[in-house]
Structure 1
Amino acid sequence: MLTKVCGMRLNTYGMVVGWLGVIWSFLAVILLGTALGFVDEIAEEVAKSNQKMSVSQIRTVLVIAFSVFLALKVINLLSSSLLVMGTVKERHLLLLPWLINSGIALFFTIIYTAAVWVVAIGYSPFLQAIPQLLVSGGLLGLWWYLYYGVYSLFKHLQLSSDQQRPLMQGPPQRSGEHSATTYPNYTKI
């Protein structure tokens, strides 16, 4: 597990990633909402340059695409907010939505990067494909490292949570007999 990411402590890193995700997602939600409001004008402009599709077909495609991206950005906004809240309150379970959301995105990025590598190697000379392979591989490695940083924060918070609330012995049930371990009463709210 990591103890620092990009020279920052894990808690600081969690806050930075969370706030950047919140800001980026909030701006994207505003932009996509505005684009949905002006979808008719956008469809007309696209139809001028694309003679193969009608305005109504372009409008349908744009509404579907903007709606899907808007839903994904709202989910990202919520998961990034929970990352910030979980880091502040030191609750490891609040980091799970961000880990799941980013894990799914990382999975699709791996598939996309593999497809880019296959196309780059298969359809262009190897020497011309090297920069594209290095850039896409480097970005994938960076994303994996950043994801692993939040996962390390999750594990660190989980470990500290388990240490703060160890299992305690319950009171004996009969004289001379001890009961099994029980969960403690919560003192921290």
Structure 2
Amino acid sequence: MLTKVFCMRLNTYGVVIGWLGIIFSFLATILLSVALGFVDEIAQQIVAGSKSADVTLDQVRSVLVISLSVYLALKVINLLSSAMLLVGTVKERHLLLLPWLINNGVILAFGIVVHLGLWAQVFSSPTPFLDALPIILFSMAILAFGWYLYYGIYSLFKQIQVTSDIQRPLIAPASQQTNSYPSYTKI
């Protein structure tokens, strides 16, 4: 498990990632909402710039509405999971970090599939390997960076989980147990 990420303590790192996720997701939500509002104009520009005669305005508009709506939903989910990451880090509640871990785990899995497809395309192209090497190295660096960031939050999750189990055990030690009624039955 990591103890620091980019020379920051894990709690500081969790707060920074939470705030960055909130800010960028909020800005992307605004941008995608504006794009959905101007979808007709965007579709007209795409059709006008298209060299293919098979592309119709309705097809482009439908694809734009569907893709922008899905991406908007994903950004709202990312906004909520980043807010939960921030609150979970500040209040030291490890279960509030789970939505961010699940969300970004899915994004990383999707990224692996995309990168494998990119590598397959690069290897199958007729270009020499040395020309494709920078693309492959850049792709591997992005994937490694994503895993490092994810592993930092996972380490924070495990650290908070361990400290919360020590602070609040599920069963009190035998020396603290009494033969009285539970406190919720006393009036």
Q: Name the TM-score, length of structure 1 as normaliser.
A: 0.89
The unaligned stretches of length 5 or more in structure 2 are none
Q: Which residue of 2 aligns with 1:75?
A: 77
- Identity across matched positions, percent: 58
Q: Which residue of 2 aligns with 1:115?
A: 117
Aligned residue number for residue 59 of structure 1: 61
- For residue 22 of structure 2, what is the amino acid of its counterpart? V
1:33 matched to 2:33: yes
1:156 is the counterpart of 2:159 = yes
Match of 1:171 among 175, 178, 184: 178
d(CA) in 1 for partners of 2:129, 2:116: 16
- How far apart in 1 are the matches of 2:131 and 2:34? 40
Moved more, 164-173 or 8-17: 164-173
Question: Separation in 2 of the partners of 1:57 and 1:112?
Answer: 25
The SS at the match of 2:55 is coil
Q: Does 1:139 align with 2:146?
A: no
* Partner AA of 1:74 in structure 2: V
Code of the residue aligned with 1:171 in structure 2: it is T
1:180 is aligned to none
CA RMSD of aligned residues (A): 1.5
Distance 1:133 1:39 in 2: 35
Cα offset, 1:122, TM superposition: 2.2
Shift of 1:91: 0.3
Equivalent in the alignment of 1:92: 94
Aligned residue-pair number: 175
Report the CA distance between 1:155 and its aligned residue. Answer: 0.2
Looking at structure 2, the residues matched to 162 and 92 of structure 1 have their Cα atoms a distance apart, in angstroms, of: 10
Q: CA deviation at 1:110?
A: 0.8
**Cross-structure match for 2:46:** 46
Distance apart, 1:52 and its partner CA: 2.3
Aligned partner of 1:145: which letter?
A: Y
What do residues 119-139 of structure 1 show as CA deviations (whole Å, max 9, x unaligned)? 212213111111111100011
Give the ranges of 4+ consecutive aligned residues of structure 1 lying more than 6 Å apart after TM superposition: none
Partner letter of residue 155 of structure 1?
Answer: K
Aligned equivalents of 2:30, 2:63: Cα separation in 1: 20
Distance 2:34 2:121 in 1: 35
CA distance in 1, matches of 2:41, 2:140: 38
Q: Given the alignment of the two structures, is residue 5 of structure 1 paired with residue 5 of structure 2, yes or no?
A: yes
